[in-house]
C-alpha cells in the first residue's frame, strides 16, 4: 500500500486517544467508586471504567475517517505509551523514599499495580482495540458506509467483550483479590458499562466524524488493506 497524504487533524486525534488511554489506566483504577442508582441501589466500580471507553470512541473515529492502517499506528502508539507509563510507575514506586517523605504508602496504592495486572491490561487493550478497529472497518465495507451508529456500537461490543474476557481472568483469576466465582459478574458489569458509555457518546461520535471527514476530505474504505496488527505500515 502506498503512503497516504498528510492530514490536518490526525495527530490531534492520536494525542487525544493516547491521553485518554494512559490517564484511564494510570489514574482511574486506583479508586473504587460507589454510586446509588435508582432501582439498582449501590453500585461499586473502578473509576477508570467511566473514561476508558472514550478511547474506543477515538478508535472508532480513527478507523472510520482515516482507515484501519492509520488506526493501527495509533493503537501501537498507545501500547508504547502504556508500557512506558507502567515502567516509569514501577521504577518511581520502587525508589527508596526520603526519611522525611511520609506518603510512600499512598503512592504505592495509587501507582503500585502488580506486573500481572499491568500485563493483563496491556494484552487486553492490544487485542480489544484491534478487534474494535477490524470489525468497524469490515462493517463499513459491508454496509457501504451507512448506519455509523451500528458500526460504532457493534465494533465496541466485540472489542470490549474481548477486552473484558481477557483482562479479568488474566489479572485476577486465582489471585484472591476477586473471588473466582464473582469474576463473570464483574466482567459482565464492566462490559455493560463500557458499551453503555459508547452508546451515550454516539451523538458526539457522529459530530466528530462528520466534521473530520469534511475537514480532511477523507472517508477511507479498507477494501485493499492488509489487516495484520503486526506492522506500522500505513
Dump pLDDT digits (tens) for 142-192.
Answer: 999 999 999 999 999 999 999 999 999 998 899 887 889 988 988 888 899
Supply the CATH number for residue 98's domain.
Answer: 1.10.1760
Residue 58 CA to residue 74 CA, distance in Å, equals: 10
d(CA 194, CA 168): 14
| Domain-located, residue 221 | no
Q: CB-hemisphere CA count at 13 Å for 17?
A: 27
Compute the distance between CA of residue 234 and CA of residue 66 in angstroms, rounded to an integer. Answer: 10
- What pLDDT, on the 0 to 100 scale, is given for residue 178? 81
In a domain, 231, yes or no: no
pTM for the full predicted model: 0.91
- The three-state DSSP-derived secondary structure of 18-29 is HHHHHHHHHCHH
pLDDT tier, 3 (very low <50, low <70, confident <90, very high otherwise): low
Confidence of residue 122 (pLDDT cuts 50, 70, 90): very high
Asked whether residue 65 is domain-assigned, the answer is: yes
97: three-class secondary structure by DSSP: coil
Q: For 42, list phi and psi in degrees, rounded to 5.
A: -75, 130
| pLDDT attached to residue 4 | 58
Residue 15 located in a structural domain: yes
- Please name the residue ranges forming H helices in 95-201: 104-111, 115-142, 148-172, 183-200
Q: Angle of helix 148-172 relative to helix 202-216, nearest 10 degrees? A: 120
**Does residue 210 register a pLDDT over 90?**
yes
* Tally of structural domains, the chain: 1
* Structural domain boundaries, residue 36: 10-216
Amino acid at each position: 500500500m502506498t503512503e497516504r497524504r498528510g492530514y490536518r487533524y490526525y495527530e490531534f486525534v492520536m494525542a487525544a486517544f493516547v491521553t485518554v488511554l494512559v490517564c484511564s489506566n494510570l489514574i482511574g483504577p486506583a479508586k473504587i467508586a460507589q454510586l446509588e442508582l435508582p432501582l439498582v441501589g449501590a453500585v461499586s466500580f473502578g473509576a477508570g471504567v467511566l473514561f476508558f471507553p472514550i478511547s474506543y470512541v477515538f478508535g472508532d473515529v480513527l478507523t472510520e475517517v482515516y482507515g484501519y492502517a492509520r488506526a493501527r499506528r495509533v493503537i501501537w502508539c498507545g501500547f508504547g505509551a502504556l508500557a512506558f507509563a507502567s515502567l516509569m510507575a514501577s521504577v518511581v514506586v520502587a525508589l527508596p523514599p526520603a526519611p522525611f517523605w511520609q506518603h510512600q504508602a499512598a503512592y504505592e496504592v495509587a501507582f503500585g499495580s502488580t506486573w500481572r495486572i499491568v500485563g493483563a491490561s496491556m494484552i487486553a487493550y492490544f487485542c480489544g482495540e484491534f478487534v474494535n478497529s477490524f470489525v468497524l472497518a469490515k462493517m463499513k465495507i459491508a454496509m457501504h458506509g451507512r448506519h455509523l451508529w451500528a458500526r460504532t456500537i457493534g465494533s465496541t461490543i466485540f472489542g470490549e467483550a474481548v477486552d473484558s474476557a481477557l483482562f479479568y481472568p488474566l489479572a485476577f483469576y486465582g489471585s484472591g483479590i476477586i473471588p473466582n466465582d464473582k469474576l463473570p459478574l464483574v466482567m459482565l458489569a464492566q462490559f455493560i458499562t463500557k458499551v453503555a458509555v459508547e452508546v451515550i457518546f454516539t451523538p458526539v461520535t457522529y459530530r466528530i466524524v462528520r466534521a473530520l471527514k469534511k475537514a480532511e476530505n477523507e472517508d477511507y474504505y479498507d477494501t485493499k488493506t492488509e489487516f495484520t496488527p503486526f506492522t506500522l505500515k500505513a
